[in-house]
Chain A
Amino acid sequence: MTVIATESLSKRFPRVTALDRLSVDIGPGVTGLVGANGAGKSTLIKILLGLSPASEGRAEVLGLDVATQGGAIRERVGYMPEHDCLPPDVSATEFVVHMARMSGLPPTAARERTADTLRHVGLYEERYRPIGGYSTGMKQRVKLAQALVHDPQLVFLDEPTNGLDPVGRDEMLGLIRRIHTDFGISVLVTSHLLGELERTCDHVVVIDGGKLLRSSSTTDFTQTTTTLAIEVTDSDAHPDGTRAVRDALHARGVDTHAEGAGLPGAGHILLLTAQGEETYDLVRDVVADLGLGLVRMEQRRHHISEVFTGTDEQNSNDEQRKEAVGHGG
């Protein structure tokens, strides 16, 4: 089943080409749409909502044509804009009830759905206070709630983690995951950070300059290369713990390399390629044998820059890729 399908979709403005023959099929689940600012993410969402005609090509959302059935599409999808969109002088409850009615829900249903939805996104007593006094994280939750209140089949979330601190970011990503797993709603979420989408999405579509760069399931990214970052303490026996671990690992045939210079604490972090479960055990044993403390051992994932530079290399072993990668070159 396909939730979103585009076929050589192009959008040209007098001076810029926002989308250039974009062909992509997106199935149910959480899909990340990644691209730098100005890559064409917002333009694509506008076209998919049936609010802006494409210059050429066609697109379908939930099996409905965006050019002719925009109204029917907008009844079945939710949209959370990137920018601030909340009036400060009304409460979250009043606002979301109003938006539910704008989606066609009868008054009683609008109230019930609002209470449910606000609870699910994590707003409790504060929902009766004016939105003006909310933190950024709470405002993002209200924005999300208004996109979900009419129980859509699909939601478009435009940069939902923008402006959030790391904890708020993680909470929002967890919430996005739940929108699919618990609520059964498919998600198209945009971000310019590939890293955070990899953790959340089943599938990632990368666009740049309006062209498709790659489209693949996230397991491809994570399974082919898992980079492990480790950091250890120093001890009296080993004044330079990092070096001791590096030598010990080297002796056991594991190559390590230091994290890129210039970053704070860079000299204390070792990166190595994990082959599987054994690598984790090996690191643990080595560190324990040396009598050092293991400060961190975490997976490092790709950044968008790696996708841009490493596209060709990835192409060879990426079978779920869509045919249009060639456009990205």
Chain B
Amino acid sequence: MSLSSLLLFAAETGPALPGYTFGGPWILRNAWLLPFIPAMSFLVILFFGKRLPYKGAEIGIASVAAVLALAIISNFAWFDHRDHYEAAEAEDAIGALLNEAESGAALQVLVVDGTAEEIRLATEEPAAGELFAAAEGGDDGHSSEIHPSTAVRAEATWFQSGGKEFKVGTLIDGQAVMMLFVVSFISLLVHVYSTDYVAGDRRYTHYYAFLSLFTASMLLLVISASTIQFITAWELVGVCSFALIGHWWEEKPNSDAALKAFLTNRVGDIGLLVGMIILFFAAGQTFDIVKINTMALNGEIGHNTLLVASLCLMGAVMSKSGQFVLHTWLPDAMAGPTPVSALIHAATMVVAGVYMIARLYGVFYEGLSIKDSSVNPLALVGMITLVFAGLLAFVQDDIKKVLAYSTVSQLGYMVMALGVGAWTAALFHLFTHAFFKAGLFLGAGSVAHSVHSFDMKKDMGGMRKFMPTTYKTFVICTLALVGIFPFAGFWSKDEILVGTGGWGLFGGTGGNGSYTLMLIGGILGASLTGAYMTRVIYLTFFGEFRHVAHDDHGAHDSHDAHDHLPHESGPRITIPLILLSGFALLAGLVNLPPGFITGNLESWQERFLHFYEPVSAAYFPSVAHGTPSYSLAVFSSAIGIAGVAMAYFYYFVLVDRKAKQLGESLTELPNGPTTKVGFLRAGHTLLVEKYYLDHLYTDFIAAGTKGPIARAVYWVNQNVLDATIDAVGRTSVKTGTAVYTHFDQKVVDGAVNVTGLVSSETGGELRKLQTGKIQQYAAYLFAGATVLAGVLIFVI
């Protein structure tokens, strides 16, 4: 561990911190290329897209395909780097850097200052390793070969202030490369899907431009090495989301939804800004994510500071990742085109909040005391979200809204997982969820494309006959979402439940603590998911087709209204669906729990954890891992299936029987329990009204600010401030008038006038002498001469 301490000192001098290197594979050092390509594609599409043969779509698809290729290469480069990056190289590199830096005295001082750190780090590191080994259960041999994960960095100066330089850069580790793959893969499928789905749209080119910009921003967010860069990307994806939700802005509800999304996110961004600012100063004026995490974990930042910062950042997570109570924008965001919903509002952007917690896990881990508590705000918010959003999904008639609430609920799982310390489980769920939820959205889009509506009750039913491929892929993705063995969702959801610790009942799951409440919430959520998804399947694909040929209000996505019966979508829509359902089926296999398959299939066990969790990196807490338990898996699956079964009984048996009796296609029992029992009806109303949150936000807060408050302020402006100024002006004028009339005109001017008057009067008298009569003049002359003579004689 002497190496670690050396690395720590190196960090103090600036060049490097433990847990990352400036070396590594070329592709990882140049990860800036990934966002750069779609950013360029955005500009090309924006300025030249309309003149291209495919209106810019080809540029978008080509660039995203290139990014996907790079992302896959990055993943393999990372696998290699993860397993074979030798510490010796790091030592050499750091040594060289240290030699370059002013070695000697500076280093000496640091050694003296940092003795305490050295000792603590030296003792802590092996402890983390042991913990890890213990968590593995010691029954498999591969823990001995694990060495610390070393992230790859590259950076450049972005700006300076007060003589300090602030960097922009890339931080590539397992988490980042995993997201790079997810984002570029889903983005590529959505690009392809959209060529059919939005074909003929008046803003087709513009749509592709923003898809490119979104992809670029999201990739930038993923590879961010500094918080300020993170904020930048965070806001940029928000703007793309705004533009794409409001894609059909001719109609007011769409632009309203876009505004709502942006503004709700802005509210959360207060937390983001404040939280990042607190961390900036707490970590000694740096935006460096690695440094912030490292300092948080080393106890160099006070606990209270971390607590406040992580609570602030949670605000941002709640808005961006749709956590209860700031989730209301996400269902409204379904006003955007369906592929956009799949990409942005299911698979990528909305998980940015989850990604941020994972990125700054050191801060959250220490700030919220995840390791030691049995309940904390993060886990609680996640749990509440997953249950409450799951309930809301029951009363939606719009298939996309059901999926939206389902997304909210699943995001709740991820946040809860991070809250209980199950980092890898959260990321793993993020990974699998991206595929099956994108698959569900695109499947819903495929149906809607064909019936020109999203309303399950009015316009769907019996779709399995018309759209077999969509039906099959949709069911596979549903099974994955519900968490049925062996679909992807089962593995990730189970891992989250394991991570909660929970009861010792299920074979001592361990984990970081005993988050019993979260375990209950998670299992409950699973059964809710099963029930509402069964409802969706029945309403959409079973029963009789309810669509009657009428006008297509509300279905913006549709452009060919000429045929009456729905039909299967084209290959550009179905192939992405098949690919996604393939992933929904298989993605879970990348992280099989070690206890699941006995025998020598070690190469399949916990590969996800192995490659993607930054084990033993200084910027990452040494989280413990729960031991999987058969009993828990069986129990939670049973509860989930029970939810499915109840909904199945209601729809497939009761409703179906009633429908056959009545000979028409029903969507619910005519006299269901919600119409009869009082408190159920009240509950139903509460759900239909979405807990009245929208009323609170729209009618009370937004309307209040926009209306009375703003008007009052403006009234004050006009009638108090401005009136004061006007009054001052008017008083000045009045004073001036008074001074003018009373003083200036009467006194000052009076004096002047008197002088004038005197002269004038005198002149008037004198002029009488001038008669024009020559004889008088002569008389004056002589009189004058006489006087002069008198003077001459008598005076002189």
A and B form one complex: no
